[in-house]
Each structure stands twice: as structure tokens, then as C-alpha cells.
Amino acid sequence: MFTKKQLRALLIPLVLEQMLTGLMGVADTFMVSNVGEAAISGVALVDSVNMLITYFFSALAAGGTIICSQYIGHQDDSDANHAAHQVTALALIMALAFALVLIPLRRPLLGLIFGTVEAAVMDAADVYMLVTVASYPFLALYTASAALHRATGNSRRPMLVAAGADVLNIIGNAILIFGCGMGVLGAALATLASRIVSAAVMLWYQTRPGQVISLRSPRSFRPDGSMLRRILRVGLPSAVENGMFQFGKLVVQSTVSVLGTTAIAAQAIIATLETCAVMPAQAVGIGLITVAGQCIGSGRPDEARRYMIQFTKLATLIAIVVSAVCSALVPFITRFTALTPDGVRLVCQITWFVSVMRVLLWPCAFTLPNGLRAAGDVSFPMLVSTVSMWVFRVAMCWYLCRYTPVGLWGVWFAWCTDWLVRAICFVFRFRGKKWLEHNVLQ
């Protein structure tokens, strides 16, 4: 169904976008880290909340991608466009609701989640959260528009827009953090500016004529209960799954906070490196949603199965390369942080351990289930991911960090156990046929 040229045109921009975003994320984190451990700790605490919301938007957008890609595979561009309008409106409404709730309640929320932390850390977190929450509507609009582009196979445009926004963010950080001495506030304002620009550019492209999916019909933004139910039936389980996943990370972050400022800062660096390291392989999973979705929509389940195997192998190959590079560079990268020698040693050792586990477990745990979701089998991945996360990533982490002497290592032992359980469950599900017994267009 897809030629090699079409697959390359889809995947190469996705991988480049994710790699660039990862590199910019590293640069962003380490620029803030030079302000001090309190600053990077405060930003890390808020980013745990921000990632929860970001993944929620991504899951809703992924639901729209699955619906739109199946409509496109079914050669029904009219319904694909109608679904695109509904996804965009839903994402914006949800973002505004989150912002209206979180801005006035940010300080009590931070205290509730993370408990008692140093005053300097809490002050930095409060400032950073105020500004970044204000950027949620723009983040939601960009995420929805980028997902709709990818549903049509156009991943090049989101890559270029994301690249420009990332560069703008880094330049803004350099000017506001170092040039103007604004510290954490400067980092937050740079993030806000980059998200405004990326949303504006993507929406401008989305409203131009000649697009396979075009947001040019104001009537289609009116709520359509039938279409919204289809989108939510696919997107809501993934949103719940991702929400629980990120909420679990919040609980883990709360557990880490009792280990002290050095552990919080070290965890922030390790988590940032891990996020960046999986981004190229994650791009393959994003592409798989489009490819498998169109295969299922056109009535070709065997092709969908074949692409799921190919994409998982590709994600493994990418994980090998990225893990090797990450392991080699981490001693050099930590020189540019304000971490103590103990913190630097901890970051290096844990990063090397996680790099090995990433190659062995991550592709089957995260790339393969995207093919299941593209076929409409969203409840099983949600159930497996939620149970595994709470039992292993959260409960196991909490026990190891609080009742054993392993310290921060306990977080990552639990993390990799979660990967292992997911991988086993999704491989067994894929080998069966129940994941093909869904019809998301009805």
C-alpha cells in the first residue's frame, strides 16, 4: 500500500523532528541548570505536570489521527475533514479548561503533589508553572494540527515548524536567561513565545486551500455528537493511558523529592536524557499510526501486521544507535551542569544502565502497541499500561526508594520492569487476532 519512497517521506521528517526536539530539550534543560540546582529542580517539578497535559493533548490528537487516517484509507475525505475540525475544537476547549483551573490553583497543587521542598525550589516552580500553563492553548492547537498533517502522510511540514520553534526557544532562553538575567521566568517566556509561533504557523498552513485535510469550514467546528463519540472512543482510552502514565511519573517525582535536591536535579537530567533518547524511536511509532490506520481503513489487515513488525524492528535499530551515542556523550554533557560530583556520577551510571534496557525492551513496549491502537484496539493497551505503571513503576519505585538503600536507582529499576511487562503483554496480543476485531468508523 505504501512505497518505500512514501515511507521515507513520512518517517525521515518524523525522526528528524523528534531528534531535533530532543536536542533542544537537552539544551533547554542544561541552560536552566546553569542557574542552579534550585532552578532546575523547580523546572523539573513543573515539567512533570506539563508532560501530563502534553501527553493528554497528544493522545486526543492521536485519536483524531487514527480516525482521519482510516477515513483517508477508506477514501472518504469529507468525513476526514469533518473529524479534523472536531479534534481541533475539542483540543482547544480542553486546553482552555486546564489553564483556567491550573493558573489560580498552581501553588496549592504543587504543594499537594510534591509536599515540602525547599523554598527556592517552590518559588522557581511557581513562576515556571504560571507562564507555561498559559501556553497550553497554543500547544494544543499545534499538537492537533501536526497530528492531522501526519494523518495524510505529510510529516515534513510539522518537522520544519517544530524546528523553527525549537530554535526560537533556545534563542529566547539565551537572551532572557543569560542576557537579561531573568532565570526561570526567562525560560518560561521563551517556551510561551515558541508555542505561540508554532501554533500560528501550523494553523495558517491548515487553512490554506489544496490540503487533504483543511480547516476551512466554520460550520464543522460546531459540536457533532456522533463524530465526537468516535474520536473519544479511540482517543479517550489513550488519553487516560497517557494521563495515568504521566500521573504515575508525578508520583515518582514526588517520591524522588524526599531524596534531596541533588537527587531531584540528577533525576531531572536523567529523565531529560531518557525523553530525548526515545524520541527518534517514538517517531517511528507515530508514523505507524498513520500507516497501520490507512491499511486497516482500506481493508488490508495483513499489511498492517507486516508494517507493525517492520516498524518495531526499525525502532530497535534506532534505539541501538541513539543509546550508544547517549552513553558515550553523557560524561561530556554533565560537565555543563551545576551538579555535584556525586550527582554527575549517579547520572552517568543510571544512564548507561537505562540505555541497555531501552534497546532490549522499549520498541515492543511502545512502538508495537501503536499499531494496535491504529486498528482501534485501544482498551487493551490502556489496561496493560495502567496496571503495569501503577504496580511496577509507581508501587515498586515507592518501596525501593523509601524502604531500601538503593536511592535513585530504585526509580529506574522500577521503570525498566514496567517496560518488560508491557513488552511481554503487547507481543502476545499482537500474535493473536482480537486486536483486529474493531471498527472505529461506525
Dmax (CA) for the chain in angstroms is 61
Domain span holding position 295: 4-436
All three cell numbers of 37, joined, read 540546582
Assess contact for 143 and 91: CB atoms under 8 A. Answer: yes
Assess contact for 379 and 237: CB atoms under 8 A. Answer: yes
In a domain, 441, yes or no: no
Q: CB-based burial of residue 437 (10 Å sphere; 0-12 exposed, 13-18 middle, 19+ buried)? A: exposed
pTM confidence score = 0.74
In a domain, 37, yes or no: yes
In a domain, 206, yes or no: yes
pLDDT of residue 430: 94
3-state percent helix, strand, coil for the chain, nearest multiple of 5? 85, 0, 15
Using CA atoms, how far residue 363 sits from 90, 359, 360, in Å, is 30, 7, 8
Count other C-beta atoms under 10 Å from residue 119's C-beta. Answer: 9
Count other C-beta atoms under 10 Å from residue 431's C-beta. Answer: 9
In a domain, 198, yes or no: yes
User: How many folded domains does the chain comprise?
Assistant: 1
End-to-end Cα, the chain, rounded Å: 23
Which residue has 513503576 as its cell numbers? 393
In a domain, 68, yes or no: yes
In a domain, 203, yes or no: yes
- Dihedral angle over CA of 270, 274, 277, 281, nearest 10: 180
Using CA atoms, how far residue 397 sits from 248, 251, 353, 392, 410, in Å, is 10, 9, 16, 7, 6
Assess contact for 264 and 41: CB atoms under 8 A. Answer: yes
Cα gap 277→423, rounded to integer Å: 18
Cα gap 364→281, rounded to integer Å: 11
In a domain, 147, yes or no: yes
Assess contact for 224 and 82: CB atoms under 8 A. Answer: yes
Count other C-beta atoms under 10 Å from residue 89's C-beta. Answer: 18
pLDDT of residue 113: 66
Assess contact for 331 and 251: CB atoms under 8 A. Answer: no
Assess contact for 375 and 228: CB atoms under 8 A. Answer: no
Question: How does DSSP classify residue 181?
Answer: -
- Entry field: residues in the chain: 442
In a domain, 373, yes or no: yes
All three cell numbers of 171, joined, read 534563542
Closest by CA position to 138, among listed 115, 117, 111, 165: 165
Cα gap 88→67, rounded to integer Å: 13
- Dihedral angle over CA of 131, 166, 16, 357, nearest 10: -50
Cα gap 354→326, rounded to integer Å: 10
pLDDT of residue 209: 73
Cα gap 155→355, rounded to integer Å: 27
Residue 181: left (phi > 0), alpha (psi -120 to 50), or beta?
Answer: left
Which stretches of 152-260 are DSSP H helices? 156-173, 183-206, 225-257
All three cell numbers of 308, joined, read 507493525
pLDDT in tens, the chain (442 residues): 677 888 888 888 888 877 776 666 666 666 766 666 667 777 777 777 777 788 788 877 877 778 888 888 777 778 788 888 888 888 898 899 989 988 888 888 777 766 666 677 777 777 888 888 898 999 999 988 888 888 887 788 888 898 888 888 888 888 887 778 777 788 888 889 989 999 999 888 888 777 777 776 666 677 777 777 777 777 778 777 777 776 777 677 777 766 777 777 788 788 878 877 888 888 898 889 888 888 888 888 889 899 999 999 999 999 999 899 888 988 887 776 667 787 788 888 899 999 999 999 999 999 999 999 988 888 899 899 889 988 998 889 888 888 888 888 888 999 899 999 999 999 999 998 889 887 766 6
Q: Supply the Cα-derived Rg of the chain in whole angstroms.
A: 21
- Dihedral angle over CA of 146, 152, 153, 154, nearest 10: -50
